[in-house]
A and B are shown apart, each in its own frame.
Chain A
Amino acid sequence: MLTDIAARLQALFDQVHLWCSQSAFWSGVFAVGWSLFKVVLIIAFMVVNVLVLVWLERKVSARIQSRLGPMRVSRPHGWAQSLADMVKLLGKEDIIPRSADRALFVIAPIVSFTAALLVYVVVPMGPSAVVSDLNIGMLYLAAVTSFTVMGVLMAGWGSNSKWTLLGAMRGAASIISYEIPMVLAVLGVVMLAGSLSTTAIVQAQSGLWNIVLQPIGFLVFLAALFAELNRVPFDMAEAESELVSGFNTEYSGLRFAFFFLAEYANLVALSAIGVTLYFGGWQGPVLPPLAWFLIKTYAFIVLVMWIRWTLPRVRIDQLLSFGWKVLLPASLVNLAVTGIYLLWV
């Protein structure tokens, strides 16, 4: 039944492709349309995942704190809570502070959101289910994940408020310092696979997952992930007990929703990257690749949430000294050991 529908869709797609390739104009239209379709697909995947994740996060935190969590909005277990929240956010007044830098203030959420969106381009969800299998996939990733800090800084500066600026400055400091150990940790995986392409990295793990070969690299990656995602214990940009709400203090309504969306979309994206790098990506027995990819990604996300609700926030100086004095040497040692292993073993 399902394969039948897939085959019919494939046939239809082939026909349209063939018809469009007859003229330069229509093949151009086809290319643009196909790209747009992919973008819409990614955004849909992202939004659905974010809605599930916001609910999941509240449930996980509730269970860890021996509470029930959202229960009221629809049975079972208030699954429609995030839908209701989203509708509520859309109805909120959109406020731009009078002293804010309007242009930056308006652009910042879009930049954040786009940065999150861009990561999905190289996430392999199956043997051929990747938007674009770039041969410099990991380099692209390292570049694109840094864009998040642009959104944070723009929001912090553009709001023209002391809390947002402090949050943005700290966020930038933490993201930039943790980017380096993260990339160095990822480099170990790249050396093992012999390629920067995410698809090739997954294929290189068909025998043994990288978590077994790169335990230190994985721990460094995991620690840096929290700084990259602005999550407790490294949520310097938000720090709600110190900075009201950090960089997004002045935002409300739809613009705030965009930051929220970007935050959780980043969580999905970086968890997917973590699964790709260290847990064999979409590979697994019996079930289809996409199912394995989703199972592993969600397991990784639950791990991240579990850690987030276990640890308290660190101070900014502790954060930076941990990044430079522990993570950076550890990732360098990991890199050296991997190099020695590849050369002589």
Chain B
Amino acid sequence: MRSLIDIVTGFWSFVVGLGVTLLNALRRPVTFQYPERYYVPLEGFRGYPALVVDPDSGEVICTGCQACARACPLGVISMEVAQREDKKRYPTEWRLDFGRCMVCNLCVEACPFDALRMSPDYEVAEYRPEDLLYDLEHLKLPREPIAVSRLDGTTVKVSFAGGERG
């Protein structure tokens, strides 16, 4: 008798399973074809750390305080700092060895001026490792949604991942 009940309940669970897979088969696929459709990163997406540009002056907010370079566990951040007439410091050169960067976000957390953010750009593959040494110009990122250039030559507007920090 017990085994008979087992058979019936087993068959019922089999039917339920078929129902689950059928429902999934009738749904729209959650995946899509990547180069044809661009995946827009969600909030909190971590690309390479980038330097936020002040929209008023057009210059980077970074003061060259080295907090990020000290926070970096791998030591992939280095910079050269100069001083303006009004005693404000600014970086003349900012280097990120993205090939060794592990995208841990520690530099962004260490920044006291909110001058570093993780970029939403993820199409960063290069043919030569030395192309992964990013300089100041490469790392500049405006605060408003940026246009990310695509592999096929088109551009897509992507807003900063992480949004405004309180």
Contacts and interface: CB of A to CB of B under 8 A. Distances in A.
Interface in A40-85: 60, 62-68, 71
Interface in B16-35: 17-18, 20-22, 24-25, 27, 29-33
A307 interface: yes
A286 interface: no
B24 A307 contact: no
A68 B32 contact: yes
Given A66-B30, A71-B33, A326-B7, A311 B25 contact: no
Interface residues of B, number: 16
Interface residues of A, number: 16
A327 to B, nearest CB: 10
Contact of B29 (A63, A309, A310): A63
A68 B29 contact: yes
Contacts of B17: 310-311
A307 B16 CA distance: 11
A64 B24 contact: yes
Given A307-B18, A310-B18, A311-B17, A64 B29 contact: no
A60 B25 CA distance: 8
Interface string A305-331: 011011100000000000001100000
A310 B30 contact: no
B39 interface: no
Given A325-B3, A326-B7, A67 B25 contact: no
B27 to A, nearest CB: 6
A67 B29 contact: yes
A64 B21 contact: yes
Interface in B31-77: 31-33
Q: Which secondary structure dominates chain B's binding surface?
A: helix
Contact of B24 (A66, A325, A326): A66
Contacts of A71: 33
Contacts of B3: 325-326
Nearest to A312: B17
B12 interface: no
A306 B29 contact: no
B116 to A, nearest CB: 37
A320 to B, nearest CB: 15
Contacts of A326: 3, 7
Interface centre among A62, A63, A71 (most CB of B within 10 A): A63
Contacts of A66: 24, 27, 29-31
Contact of B20 (A307, A310, A325): A310
A310 B32 CA distance: 23
Given A325-B3, A326-B7, A306 B31 contact: no
A310 B33 contact: no
A321 to B, nearest CB: 10
Contact of A68 (B14, B24, B33): B33
Contacts of A65: 24
A63 B27 CA distance: 8
A67 B27 CA distance: 10
Interface in A207-257: none
Contacts of B27: 66
Interface in A66-112: 66-68, 71
A71 B32 CA distance: 10
Given A64-B25, A66-B24, A306 B33 contact: no
B18 A63 contact: no
Contact of B21 (A62, A68, A309): A309
A309 B17 CA distance: 10
Contacts of B20: 310
A226 to B, nearest CB: 12
Interface of A: 60, 62-68, 71, 306-307, 309-311, 325-326
Enumerate the 9 nearest inter-chain pairs by beta-carbon distance, A residue then B residue, closest first: A63-B25, A310-B21, A64-B21, A310-B17, A66-B30, A64-B25, A68-B29, A67-B31, A66-B29
18 contacts: A60-B25, A63-B29, A64-B21, A64-B25, A65-B24, A66-B29, A67-B31, A68-B31, A68-B32, A68-B33, A71-B33, A307-B18, A309-B21, A310-B18, A310-B20, A310-B21, A311-B14, A326-B7
